[in-house]
Amino acid sequence: VSKTVVDFFAGKSEAEIEKYIALCKQAEAFQKDE
């Protein structure tokens, strides 16, 4: 994991991180359906 990503998450709350991860998973699932 790059330092940029670590810094990005360091400034976020747990809820924000969970939301972000959920979005990433949704995007991945969406791409697989194409």
The domains of the chain are located at: 3-33
**C-alpha–C-alpha distance, residues 29 and 34, integer Å:** 9
Rg (CA), the chain: 12
What confidence score (pLDDT) does residue 28 get? 93
pTM, full prediction = 0.55
b or e along 3-19 (b: 16 or more beta carbons within 10 Å of the residue's beta carbon)?
Answer: eeeeeeeeeeeeeeeee
pLDDT score recorded for residue 21: 92
**Distance (Å, rounded) from C-alpha 16 to C-alpha 29?**
20
Please indicate whether residue 18 or residue 5 has the higher confidence score (pLDDT).
18
Q: Is 11 a residue whose pLDDT tops 90?
A: no
